[in-house]
Amino acid sequence: METKSTDPTSQRPDGNRMVDAPMVSIDLNLFTEQIKTEEIWKSSDRNAITVFKTDTMSIVLIALHKNAELKKHTAAGLISVQVLEGQIMFTTDELAVELNKGQMITLHEHIPHAVLAKEESIFLLTLASALAT
């Protein structure tokens, strides 16, 4: 198995981190602190960091300021959204669900959805997809 890591960027100078290996240890508290201290968090309504990524799964830690919105979009695979801090409104064309700390939702692929932060929020997005044949 090939080990993969990210390189630092101008927006994330401390960005060198392991994103794929036989085992990846992920410190969500450390990553939460990191994204809340980066310039993009101070100058924008959101910030995110990919903490794990393979051909079939990605895990992204997302921080949204109050009233920030991820406009309606679709995902190419199954997703789960787990709220770690705050409160979000997760909306599809047919349902709206308020999620608080410790709650999560799953959604099948290609279903349009949006996310609105009711207060400053942190959530973990997991996207799982099948390999193309």
pLDDT digits (tens, 9 = 90+) for 97-123: 999 999 999 999 999 999 999 999 999
To which CATH superfamily is domain 4-128 assigned? Jelly Rolls (2.60.120.10)
Is 38:27 a contact under the CB 8 Å cutoff? no
Question: What is the spatial distance between Cα 58 and Cα 118, in angstroms, rounded to a whole number?
Answer: 25
Nearest alpha carbon to residue 84 among 39, 54, 47, 120: 120
Would you list the domain boundaries of the chain? 4-128
Q: Is 40 helix (H, G, I), strand (E, B) or coil?
A: helix
* Cα end-to-end span (Å), the chain: 20
Burial class (CB in 10 A: 0-12, 13-18, 19+), 9: exposed
Query: What is the per-residue pLDDT across 38-78, written as a single tens digit (0 to 9) for each?
Result: 999 999 999 999 999 999 999 999 999 999 999 999 999 99
User: What stretch of H or E contains 105?
Assistant: strand 104-107
Give the model's pLDDT for residue 12. Answer: 66
